[in-house]
Chain A
Amino acid sequence: MDTLQNFLLAHTQGDLLPWEAQVQAAEYFSLTYSEIEEAALQLNILPSRYQRNRQTISTTQQFTLFHSTVAVIGCGGLGGYIIEELARLGVGNIKAIDPDVFEEHNLNRQILSTISVLGKPKADVAQARVNDINPAVNVIPIKDAFSKANGAELLHDANVVVDALDNIPVRIELAETCEMLKIPLVHGTIGGWYGQITTQLPGDKTIQKIYGRHSKATGVEKVLGNPSFTPAIIASLEVAETCKILLNQGTTLRKRVLFINLLDMEIEDIKI
């Protein structure tokens, strides 16, 4: 086996490359798992882990996802699910941004929180979790709080930014930074039984329209809290939006806000 390409072709079953062969290739050629996954996709060989993707996402599109960078702002209730789903989808580069550590009150809903990681930085835990799922996915843990001051530095290389924040003032700063950098922003937020999601493309100023000048407003989650199921649903919708933006497919929630009322199972689609 003189070349990586020959090795991969020789170990492909059908058009699928088993994980075991990826491990062998990485060891034999002293390459990273990321380099092996890239080489396979370039040869139109699909790593076996993605075989249930491919009726929806072609191998070419899988390659596009692999070369994408998504910044997730917040690694808590929404962010944990978002990072998990992006990694399983096959997004190659994920910036996990959160200054906090896991606390006991996170355990009711934050998928990355377990007893064993209490006190550990959320961004580091996100990286470890993804490494367990697929070490070919590059997670960059950033243990700083997002702000307008560091926003450009943190987000300049992102194809899409996903909002998993927990307050309005920083959301407004995030939206303004994405407008300035001309990066699509997928917004999601939750409170009790309720959630909302939208997609802001450069020039839309959607978040400004939602929150207006209410830079000191609070959210109703301060009263209602957040149960386990609401972040899972809104996070999944955010990942679906992100996937469509990266692949330029389907119809996004641009200039629309989806309001979800899980108490009555009602969904409102409002133009904005």
Chain B
Amino acid sequence: MSVKMNLHPFLNDGVELQLEIEGKTVGECLNNVIKRYPAMEKKLFAKKGELKGYVEIMVNSKSAYPNELIHPVNNDDVVSVLVFLAGG
């Protein structure tokens, strides 16, 4: 499966990324992104292999919460990896 993935600029040191990436689930897609951009791992994942609390995954504009990493994806799905803002 090949999906279109948009990554928030924070995840790539200020550069917004739009990628074509392979994977059958969101988790597989993210692992493939990390293979290309290893520095993203620390920004995406906590120590336990869980997504960081500020990461929001949208698949075709719908939240993939709560089981984002096993959320299935299909060809041409659009996966957006966003970050929550909460400061005031």
CB within 8 Å of B: which A202-222 residues:
211-214, 216-222
Q: Does B45 contact A (CB under 8 A)?
A: no
Mask for B1-43, Cβ within 8 A of A = 1, else 0? 0000000011000101000000000000000000000000001
Q: Number of contacts between A and B (CB, 8 Å)?
A: 86
| Cα separation A221 to B54 with both chains bound (whole Å) | 9
For B52, list chain A residues within 8 Å (CB): 218
CB distance from A190 to the nearest CB of B (A): 4
Minimum CB–CB distance for B62 against chain A, Å: 10
The yes or no answer to B88 lying at the interface (CB within 8 A) is: yes
User: Once the chains are docked, how many angstroms separate the CA of A124 from the CA of B85?
Assistant: 27
**How many residues on chain B are close to A (CB under 8 Å)?**
18
Chain B residues in 8 Å Cβ range of A76 = 88
Tell me which of A86-94, A130-138, A163-171 binds B: A163-171
- In the docked arrangement, what's the CA distance between A229 and B52, Å? 26
Instruction: List chain B residues, Cβ under 8 A from A264.
Output: 9, 14, 16
From residue 36 to 88 of chain B, which have CB atoms closer than 8 A to chain A?
A: 43, 52-54, 56, 63, 65-66, 83-88
CB distance from A55 to the nearest CB of B (A): 32
A261: B residues at CB distance < 8 A: 9, 16
A191–B83 CB distance below 8 A: yes
Provide a sorted-by-A list of 22 A–B residue pairs whose CB atoms are within 8 angstroms: A77-B88, A164-B88, A165-B86, A166-B87, A168-B86, A188-B88, A189-B86, A189-B87, A190-B87, A191-B85, A195-B85, A211-B84, A214-B65, A217-B56, A217-B86, A219-B54, A219-B83, A219-B87, A220-B54, A221-B86, A224-B10, A264-B14
Smallest CB-CB A-B distances: 9 pairs: A219-B86, A221-B87, A218-B53, A166-B88, A191-B85, A220-B83, A220-B54, A190-B87, A189-B85
Residues of A within 8 A of B (CB): 74, 76-79, 163-168, 171, 188-196, 211-214, 216-224, 226, 231, 261, 263-264
Q: Which B residues form the contact surface with A (CB < 8 A)? A: 9-10, 14, 16, 43, 52-54, 56, 63, 65-66, 83-88
